Amino acid sequence: MKKFLATILALTMILALAACGGNDSGSSSAPPADSGSQSSEPAASSGGNGDAKTVGIAMPTQSLERWNRDGAYLDEQFKAAGYNTIVTYSDNKNEQQVNDIQNMLAQGVDLLIIAAIDGNALNTVMNDAGAAGVPVIAYDRLIMNDNASYYVSFDNYTVGKLQGEYVRDALDLDNAAGPFNIEFTAGDPADNNAGYFFNGAMDVLKPYIESGKLVVPSGQTEFSAVATDQWQTDVALDRAQNVLASFYSGGAKLDAWLCSNDSTSLGVAQAVTADYAGGNSVIITGQDGDVANLRNIKDGVQSMTVYKAVANEAVVTLDLAKAILDSGTADGSLISASGWDFACDYDTTSYQTSDGHNCPSFLLVPDVVTADNMEEKLVTPGYYVVGADGYLEATNG
């Protein structure tokens, strides 16, 4: 029940943020602006005291909806558990994230939770954390440094696989005559997850490309050709417009556009709506369940999103942090001991921070959301509510 209340509180904060535009320039609304950090005392109800341990929570940016949700959930849940928190958003700028983490170390944090902007570019602060004996939980995105003590995320490969399978089934690739035309948009090359998403989808769809059932008119099937810097909607929009102008203006039919997440999906959907001349509805995938994308799904502009319950990701992170800090057992036995009412795997072989160095990982299970199951998957568990206009909102406040 406590977790549910924390969820409601966090969602209220997100709605306030959304009302302010939720951009990186920041506002006085919580969560704090990207330009700085905010120390918080433990929630009054927790009976916190000066001896409470402090947890540094470094999120990448406020410009993408999901990270606002993650930051809010983590902050609320750690405070409710009696920890002090410092939360930063670093405007998708690696140097700023390095500074923010350095400041946290200088303030004597007991544990760091980091969703890296660039998983390859945090070596200095990660080594500093290691030297100071501060454990680091790599949150959602792996950090390529052996001082990452644990990794908490969703099964990233499965996210891409679910997107690929959705396209496969929607086009009935095993039975329909085809051929069908498809394009791809992947994520940020600096984000270790992006390759997993792309490979998961490609592993499903590649056999159909090889057999000729699926055709990629642009010819762009390599990750490097379809990647999107910083997952930016505008970057995805520009590339989609170029592809449509170059390969579809002569009347070619576009059947599907596989997008790795919702921010890129927004750009692709905008380009398709404005610049694609065909009369068919185009299958477009996504990931995250961002509110704007849920609207597009309801309107038939986007077909699906892979939803990751970030509230549960925060629950796992909190319980793992408690085990690390308060000398519980920080291994797979946490799963049975925790009593979580959602699935989570303990994996010690899939994610390596360097050659031969496995990072013990807690991996949650992603889920497919479409117009048909949106209420069951998102409203019934309490993640969203149906607004007066019939579209989903983060909360009714």
Binding site for ligand GAL (CB under 6 A): 64, 66, 140-141, 187, 191, 193, 231, 261, 287-288, 308
Token pair, residue 170, equals: 């929607």
Report the residue number, 52 or 58, with the smaller CB distance to ligand GAL. Answer: 58
Which residues are CB-neighbours of 378 under 8 A, at least 6 positions away? 289, 294, 307, 369, 384, 392
Please report, for residues 88, 95, 191, 299, the alpha-carbon distance to residue 100 in angstroms, rounded to integers and kept in the order given. 7, 9, 19, 40
Nearer Cβ to ligand GAL (171/237): 237
Shortest spacing between CB 306 and ligand GAL, in angstroms: 8
What residue type is 378 in one-letter code? L
Backbone angles phi, psi at 46, to 5 degrees: -80, -10
C-alpha distances (whole Å) from 366 to each of 124, 301, 363 are 32, 22, 9
| Nearest to ligand GAL of 68, 149 (CB atom) | 68
Smallest gap, in angstroms, from Cβ of residue 290 to ligand GAL? 8
Is residue 90 within 8 A of residue 60, CB to CB? The reply is yes
- Segment (H or E) for 305: strand 304-307
181 or 287: CB nearest ligand GAL: 287
- Residue 64 or 320: which CB sits closer to ligand GAL? 64
CA distance linking residue 76 with residue 42, whole number of Å: 9
DSSP 98-151: HHHHHHHHHTT-SEEEE--SSTTS-HHHHHHHHHHT--EEEESS--SSTTEEEE
Residue 75 or 191 having the CB closest to ligand GAL: 191
Integer Cα distance of 45 and 350 in angstroms: 40
Q: Which is nearer to ligand GAL, 193 or 218 (CB)?
A: 193
User: What is the nearest approach in angstroms of ligand GAL to the Cβ of residue 287?
Assistant: 6
**Closest-CA residue to 374 (of 395, 397, 392):** 392
Please say which residue, 147 or 156, places its beta carbon nearer to ligand GAL. Answer: 156
Least separation in angstroms between residue 141's CB and ligand GAL is 5
Cα torsion 309, 311, 312, 314 to 10°: value is: 130
Residue 173 Cβ vs ligand GAL, minimum distance, rounded to whole Å: 26
Pairing of strands 180-185, 148-154: unpaired
Query: In the complex, what is the shortest distance from the CB of residue 187 to ligand GAL, in angstroms, rounded to a whole number?
Result: 6
Nearer CB in complex with ligand GAL: 193/353: 193
For ligand GAL, give the closer residue by CB, 231 or 362.
Answer: 231
How much is the CA Rg of the chain, to the nearest whole Å? Answer: 21
For the CB of residue 239, give the shortest distance to ligand GAL in the complex, in Å: 16
User: Minimal distance in Å, beta carbon 390 to ligand GAL?
Assistant: 26
| DSSP codes, 198-263 | HHHHHHHHHHHHHHTSEE-TT---SHHHH--GGG-HHHHHHHHHHHHHHHTTTSPPP-EEEESSHH
Q: In whole angstroms, how close is the CB of 271 to ligand GAL at the nearest point?
A: 19
CA dihedral 267, 268, 269, 275 (to 10 degrees): 110
Nearest Cα to Cα of residue 72 among 59, 84, 83: 59
Name the pairing type of β-strands 84-89 and 54-59: parallel
Nearest approach, Cβ of 263 to ligand GAL (angstroms)?
6
